[in-house]
Amino acid sequence: MTAASIAKDLRAAIRSGTYKPGDRLPSEAALMSNYGVARMTARHGLSMLKDEGLTVTRHGSGVFVRSFEPIVRDSTGGKAGESTVTAEIDETGAGLVVRTLAVTAEAEPSEKIRTTLGLAEGDKVTVRERLHLRERKPVLFATSYLPAAIAAGTPIADQEVGPGGTHARLTEAGHAPVRFREDVVGRMPTIEEIEELRIEPGTPVLAVTRTAFTKDGSPVEVSHVVLDAGEFMLRYDID
């Protein structure tokens, strides 16, 4: 029970404010002598806190208490005509930079995307991949799928969508998105996501599947958005 009890003590100390965000915790060597345990045991105790997202370790430097200052992503507050995601970042998201990674005018959709968009077999989709950065750190990865029949040949299939973003182009093309559905799950990141978003150990991601519908109820866009849960809070205003 020693590794667990070391974790328990440190956890209590963090919660009570003995160690504040940014503070350094006792080193492994210190814990070994304080508790009279082997190094692996001290390590295990510390690794529990890391897995809980309470601490971050810096190789060669120490174990530090973590802080959480989320960007608020207001999914309902975006002014019409702005780009899907940037409009949703409120003022605390200042300094957020969007980088378009790749745009594919015509791609074969997965079975799931195809049925969600209500496409026939053989129909193609336009795929847009974007990365959002906060102070140089990537924090959000988004992939959008639109029917190629709608998007191909428009600026949506270009690297630069133009002012107002994808939604403005869809509106111009007579497919104005007016209703949205967001499905949110929380889970641990995949290895790819850990690398892509440089996610700290012990940090989950929020995976949002956002579907945009036109007035007549037909889906015009499906977006998979993966957010570093250590960086974001999702806000929904509901009537």
Partner DNA sequence: GAGTGGTCTAGACCACTGC
Partner DNA sequence: CAGTGGTCTAGACCACTCG
- Those residues whose C-beta lies under 8 Å from the C-beta of residue 98, and which sit 6 or more positions away, are 83, 85, 86, 130, 131, 132, 133
Q: Which does 93 bind (CB under 5 to 8 A by kind): DNA, its own copies, none?
A: none
Helix (H) or strand (E) holding 50: helix 39-51
Q: Give the CA-trace dihedral at 82, 84, 86, 89, to 10 degrees.
A: 110
Whether residue 109 contacts residue 192, with contact meaning beta carbons closer than 8 Å, is answered with no
Give the contact letters, 63-102, x = binds to DNA (CB under 7 A), - = no: x---------------------------------------
Give the contact letters, 28-57, x = binds to its own copies (CB under 8 A), - = no: ------------x----------xxxx---
Of 110, 112, 105, 108, the C-alpha closest to 148 is 105
Asked if residue 11 binds DNA (CB under 7 A), the reply is: no
Helix (H, G, I), strand (E, B) or coil at 43: helix
Amino acid type, 24: R
Q: Which residue in the set 36, 122, 174, 186 belongs to the binding site for its own copies (CB under 8 A)?
A: 186
Q: Which does 206 bind (CB under 5 to 8 A by kind): DNA, its own copies, none?
A: its own copies
Q: Which residue in the set 15, 21, 22, 40 belongs to the binding site for DNA (CB under 7 A)?
A: 40
Site residues, DNA (CB under 7 A): 1-4, 25, 27-30, 36-41, 43-44, 46, 57-63
